Structure 1
Amino acid sequence: MDEAVDRQWVGDLVRATIEEDLAGGADVTTVATVDPDQISVAELVVRADGVVAGLEVAELVIRQVAAPEEIELEYSVRDGASVRKGDVLMTIRGKTRQLLTAERTTLNLLCHLSGVATLTRRWVDAVEGTSVVIRDTRKTMPLLRSLEKYAVRCGGGKNHRMGLSDAALIKDNHVVAAGGVAEAFRLVRKAYPDLAVEVEVDSVDDALIAVESGAELILLDNMEVPQLREAVEKVAGRARLEASGGLTLDQARAVAETGVDYFAVGALTHSAPVLDIGLDLRES
């Protein structure tokens, strides 16, 4: 994980997920079938091509379940790596009971984060050769935002704002409440003069109003390719432009070629399918 991820917070999350699994006190199936002194080697093996993210989170889960001195762990790849079906991601040697108890929590997090990274890479690849930057949104699973946004970075994307306080995004409901695009921008700039402000608009006319009000970043919501192209032409470099809403991979290049600067893709986190990864056990 990079420095943008709070490791203490991830540790707390890992402990909570393990406690959720062990709410009844023990992994009863494993306790019943596995000798407490049995030692095994487990491999994390990817079942489909993709991009891996979350290996250090997986390690935290395993080390939380097992005593540190009872685990030997070796990475074969690192987060952000492109992997192929059958690749071994990590090899762990330790007590069989502990490995099996940690298995599901490990895979839940690793498969999900790798799925986010894999989908992000598909978007990045789709616009390769253009200047468009793929960005995520706040459409994340509750309490997983930091890790999901980390996975986006592993896939080659960039992060939008982390929360409601590190940047302002004036959306349609804010415009309605304030009485117009210009007034909403004025109020935010007055209250937070040093904060980055983005304005969401759904028409080229409103984009121009936002520019004339001083906006430097404009989100073009649910616009078709011709509208996006018109907005780029009329804004003429006076603000950075972000396409959002209704974006699909098959249209990504056409949208990128309009000249917008960013894509805001909520699907990176709210609709990413997991990357299939398994834990294969063998005797030591």
Structure 2
Amino acid sequence: MPIRRRRQGEEPDSTLEPAGEEADAVETDDAPAAGAAVEGDGPYDSGDAYPELQRLDFGSIQVPVAEGLGFQVNFEATEVDEAGNPLNGRPVAVLVQHAESVLQIQAFAAPKRSGIWDEIRKETATEVAEQAQGQTEEREGPFGTELLAMVPAELTEEMLNEMPPEVREQIPAEVIEQGYAWQPIRFIGIDGPRWFLKGVVQGAAIEDEEQWQILEDVFRNIVVVRGEQPMPPRELLPLNLPEEFSEAAQTEEGEAEAETLDPFERGPEITEVR
């Protein structure tokens, strides 16, 4: 299921191959706010019309799949032992990997008639400046106003030694001497009906247009399933592990199975599905 690159100005009708007819649309009298999801141009609400594509079902978000994409889930500890080691956890973010790029996806509850992206964007800029000693700037992107951050990433001698020689040779001597390099991070957000979808892009896709087009099409074709349950604004919508994750784990050797059952053994990531 290939994803093709969309040309500048071309209608965003999805680069992912459709798998069937569109669902019925839900009409609304509310005018979309700036940066809000618009019917016919995703990301989509589960009650609206959207292209029927092959997607991984994470519960509150359904993420399209295509050749060359890898998927992982980040966990947050919900229970620890006396030594502080995590015992149980909940999934809190979906990571989509493509080549040298990563897109982190999270969905949150939001007020019915007002978006929260403007507030979150400002808070994120403050956190980058105060906690990471970084810099930010707002700019317009395909999903409206987004935030581009530059944060200092530490370069230790151990990290440099682990790099392939051809990669280390590309790092300027003054960067190695100062001990850090500026890392770009791109924050994108969409206000939907009672939900907010956040994307964080890292890696080559920030500057590489071809890699970005792949991740853009993934983000554009996400379907958010808000549900009817009342939730306070900004609360993370619950995530589930797709059946494909369990099936993939069962086909791997015992090591992969152990990683699935104990995702904190090597960090907050688990089974990768391609």
- Higher-strand-fraction structure: 2
TM-score with structure 1 length normalisation? Answer: 0.21
TM-score (norm 2): 0.22
Where is the helix percentage greater, Structure 1 or Structure 2?
1
Larger radius of gyration: 1
